[in-house]
Structure 1
Amino acid sequence: MIIKVCGMREAHNIHEVSQLGIDWVGLDFEPKSERYVSQISSCAGIIPDYSSLSDLSSHDSSQQQQRPILCGVFADDMPQNIVTRVYNFNLDVVQLNGEENMVMVDNLRRTLDPDIHAGIKIMKRIVITKREDIEKYKEYAEGVDYFLFDIQDNLKDWSILEAYEGKIPFLVSGNIGIEEADKIKTFSHPQFYGISINEKFETAPAVKDVALMKNFLERVK
């Protein structure tokens, strides 16, 4: 199970959190977000030098001692903006949170891979308010690498995800906090790949509580 920490922005905070052994760092490029990473920023200004880290862990042992996967979060953005950020921040994953269709996804992948970032991965977020929402995955089943099932507050039981019959790995998000540690440890699905955490671990927008996150990781790993 991978741990994605989304909504990060401060280099020092990213450095501290990375040393805990998290797998993905999420950078939010949605302009209306409190955690928005400004377009004028660049990798050099926000992403720390991971070569100095000595205790990174990863689901892939070959990535030991390297930086976490960098995931850029977008919603109905113009393709050229996404391409610019992939290049400037050396993003490994593009997460699409809007109403993007498969034509857009296909065109984006062709533009990025291999010229901008060979092997770029694309993840589509699907908001889950009821069981039927899971069926939306079928629209993207042939064109994305991961799904992010964003479970809304009205749903407390992750067993609803048993309805997912696809072959593409998925992450789960949805206001996940330390109180969900036991639920995460007992949840099982053949395509369950990891979780995405954010607000419940913040002291301020885009600033993660390192001690709280360390406690959480010790409980779920």
Structure 2
Amino acid sequence: MGNWNQEELKKALQLYAVTDRHWLNGRRLADDVERALRGGATFIQLREKDDMKLEHDAFLKEAAEIKALCRRYKVPFVIDDDVDLALEIGADGVHVGQSDMETGLVRSRLGKDRIIGVSTQTVEEALLAESRGADYLGVGAVFPTGSKADASEVSMDALRAICKAVSIPVVAIGGITEENVMELAGSGIVGISVISAIFSKEDVEGAARALKSRTIRMLGLSGD
């Protein structure tokens, strides 16, 4: 896991922000990422949807700029799915879904020092991902979400069962907002992963700050 041991990674997963170019409205993605970091985002995933992908060189430049921001704010920076890009720019790792590259193969490509996150929905998927080298899991969708049209929901019981079954940190994903985040209290998660709850807001920094505050309360922590 490179610069992060498991306790450091657990803390870094409290407010996990995933980028989405759809919400920019003329702004630069790197600027919105910095606003989220100023507001308290503790982890950044660069995610490019197929319908809005940049040309490779432009994406590489953008990724390098966001990586530099994350270094400055001392938070992990991972790439969604693209192992080759993560290696090319020296990202801290990648996050993969069930339909992406298999976790063990990702680990063999990245080596032991980079972070691997895996999206899971069942205890079986979670245990397999952990055994193949995942460092953390993203479990969801815990609420209805418009960010991933094909996302099916995971019950609170299933979320608790996954958290109990694995020894690696778990973050909840899918449809989480400032209004519903408290419903996740007691589930066993170490944090939340969000897209629109931060990046769809006009005040990205303020949205991140408010969501971080409520997430800390939800986790039963006294400070960040």
TM over 0.5: yes
TM superposition score normalised by structure 1: 0.69
Q: CA deviation at 1:92?
A: 1.1
**Which residue in 1 is equivalent to 2:106?**
108
The verdict on how the C-alpha distance between 1:200 and 1:38 changes in structure 2, with shifts beyond 3 A counting, is farther
Give structure 1 regions of 4+ aligned residues with deviation exceeding 6 angstroms.
none
Asked whether 1:203 is paired with 2:194, we answer no
8 Å CA contact 1:6–1:198 kept in 2: the answer is yes
> RMSD across aligned C-alpha pairs, in angstroms?
3.0
**Which residue in 2 is equivalent to 1:27?**
46
SS at match of 1:178: coil
TM superposition score normalised by structure 2: 0.68
The verdict on how the C-alpha distance between 1:11 and 1:17 changes in structure 2, with shifts beyond 3 A counting, is same
Matched positions, count: 184
8 Å CA contact 1:151–1:172 kept in 2: the answer is yes
The verdict on how the C-alpha distance between 1:15 and 1:166 changes in structure 2, with shifts beyond 3 A counting, is same
**Which residue in 1 is equivalent to 2:18?**
6
8 Å CA contact 2:39–2:206 kept in 1: the answer is no
More helix by share: 2
Letter in 2 for 1:71: V
Q: What are the superposed Cα offsets for residues 64-93 of structure 1, whole Å, 9 maximum, x if unpaired? A: x6432112112xxxxxx522x113443212
**Which residue in 2 is equivalent to 1:142?**
131
CA distance, structure 2, for counterparts of residue 124 and residue 156 of structure 1: 15
8 Å CA contact 1:13–1:208 kept in 2: the answer is no
8 Å CA contact 1:8–1:28 kept in 2: the answer is yes
**Which residue in 2 is equivalent to 1:120?**
114
Asked whether 1:213 is paired with 2:208, we answer yes
Q: What are the superposed Cα offsets for residues 13-59 of structure 1, whole Å, 9 maximum, x if unpaired? A: 11111112211111014424x5x4653235543525549xxxxxxxx
**Which residue in 2 is equivalent to 1:168?**
168
Asked whether 1:17 is paired with 2:36, we answer yes
CA distance, structure 2, for counterparts of residue 7 and residue 198 of structure 1: 6
Q: CA deviation at 1:124?
A: 1.0
Map 1:17-56; keep pairs closer than 5 Å: 17-32=36-51, 36=53, 38-42=55-59, 44-46=61-63, 47-48=65-66, 49-50=68-69
The verdict on how the C-alpha distance between 1:138 and 1:88 changes in structure 2, with shifts beyond 3 A counting, is same
8 Å CA contact 1:148–1:171 kept in 2: the answer is yes
The verdict on how the C-alpha distance between 1:171 and 1:121 changes in structure 2, with shifts beyond 3 A counting, is same
CA distance, structure 1, for counterparts of residue 198 and residue 73 of structure 2: 24
Asked whether 1:187 is paired with 2:199, we answer no
8 Å CA contact 1:7–1:26 kept in 2: the answer is yes
SS at match of 1:40: helix
8 Å CA contact 1:30–1:73 kept in 2: the answer is no
SS at match of 2:58: coil
The verdict on how the C-alpha distance between 1:105 and 1:31 changes in structure 2, with shifts beyond 3 A counting, is same
Higher relative contact order (CA 8 A, sep 6+): 2
Segments of structure 1 that go 5 or more residues without pairing to the other structure are 52-62, 75-80
Q: What are the superposed Cα offsets for residues 133-164 of structure 1, whole Å, 9 maximum, x if unpaired? A: 33322332311111110225375862432222
